[in-house]
């Protein structure tokens, strides 16, 4: 079974999504307010804006040592790219001078201190981690559709007896270190294709997603091992093409 998911507008009624006041500001200033609320919480297109709004709020409350002149990206709508979050969040202590320089150059900031660096690192990590956990939520919804897959297979006699054989369970750089022994489970490894610059370039993003999968009681570590998350580009177009081909 192939399922082409478009999760961007899931729960636009906000019955479940944990929207913050910064999410509300991002939505209100977008070209389509009230639509695609999940996408605005997880997409690399918007995470830089969430950081920008957070920095403005901290600055107004005197929580930053650095300052920003007129024309700084901090004052420009969508002025901070998500690549900045990844670079700062992944900075190591031994590279703190480079990270401070990156903040100074990217934000056109003056008087950047180590405390400012730690603040931005914390914000960047939290914003990216929330994105990964929300994406993981939609991933686990897709994985639990496997019950439907089993039903369809039984209806049409598609169950094939196979000899039990261990298989590798993670084809990405993040390895769960688990293997599958059961022929039933092995027949039901779930491939999930994910697109987007965050998944492609942020080295910890898949790890954040898989940690969230572990935390879902219905999945846990053992069932997380059945899920292969792989990068695809132009996911919407590719998914639509696959389903069109399958239906032809």
pLDDT along the chain (248 residues), means of 10: 64 82 95 89 92 97 97 97 90 90 97 96 93 78 50 39 35 41 51 73 79 77 77 64 61
Instruction: Check if the beta carbon of residue 3 is closer than 8 Å to that of residue 143.
Output: no
Q: Are residues 108 and 169 in the same domain?
A: no
Q: Is 10 part of any domain?
A: no
Q: Are residues 157 and 76 in the same domain?
A: no
Q: Structurally, how many domains does the chain consist of?
A: 2
Q: Are residues 102 and 138 in the same domain?
A: no
Q: Is 34 part of any domain?
A: yes
Q: Are residues 97 and 172 in the same domain?
A: no
* Residue 105 confidence (pLDDT): 97
Q: Is 121 part of any domain?
A: yes
Q: Are residues 64 and 92 in the same domain?
A: yes
Which ranges constitute the DSSP H helices of the chain? 21-28, 37-42, 44-60, 82-89, 96-107, 114-144, 146-155, 183-186, 197-201, 205-215, 220-224, 235-247
Q: pTM for the whole thing?
A: 0.71
Give the residue numbers spanning the domain of 82. Answer: 21-130
């Amino acid at each position: 079974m192939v399922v082409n998911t478009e999760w961007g507008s899931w729960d636009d009624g906000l019955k479940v999504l944990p929207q913050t006041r910064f999410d509300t500001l991002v939505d209100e200033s977008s070209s389509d307010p009230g639509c695609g609320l999940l996408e605005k919480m997880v997409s690399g297109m918007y995470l830089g804006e969430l950081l920008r709004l957070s920095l403005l709020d901290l600055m107004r409350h005197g929580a930053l040592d650095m300052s920003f002149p007129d024309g700084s990206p901090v004052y420009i709508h969508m002025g901070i790219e998500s690549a900045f979050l990844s670079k700062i969040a992944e900075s190591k202590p031994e590279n703190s001078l480079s990270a401070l320089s990156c903040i100074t150059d990217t934000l056109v900031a003056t008087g950047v201190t180590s405390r400012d660096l730690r603040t931005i690192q914390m914000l960047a990590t939290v914003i990216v981690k929330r994105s990964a956990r929300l994406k993981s939520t939609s991933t686990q919804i897709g994985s639990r559709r496997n019950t439907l897959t089993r039903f369809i297979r039984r209806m049409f006699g598609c169950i094939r007896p196979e000899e039990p054989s261990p298989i590798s369970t993670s084809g990405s750089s993040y390895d769960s270190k688990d293997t599958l022994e059961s022929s039933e489970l092995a027949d039901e490894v779930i491939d999930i294709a994910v697109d987007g610059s965050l998944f492609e370039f942020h080295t910890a993003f898949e790890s954040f997603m898989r940690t969230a999968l572990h935390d879902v009681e219905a999945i846990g570590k053992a069932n997380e091992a059945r899920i292969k998350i792989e990068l695809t580009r132009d996911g919407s177009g590719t998914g639509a093409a696959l389903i069109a081909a399958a239906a032809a």
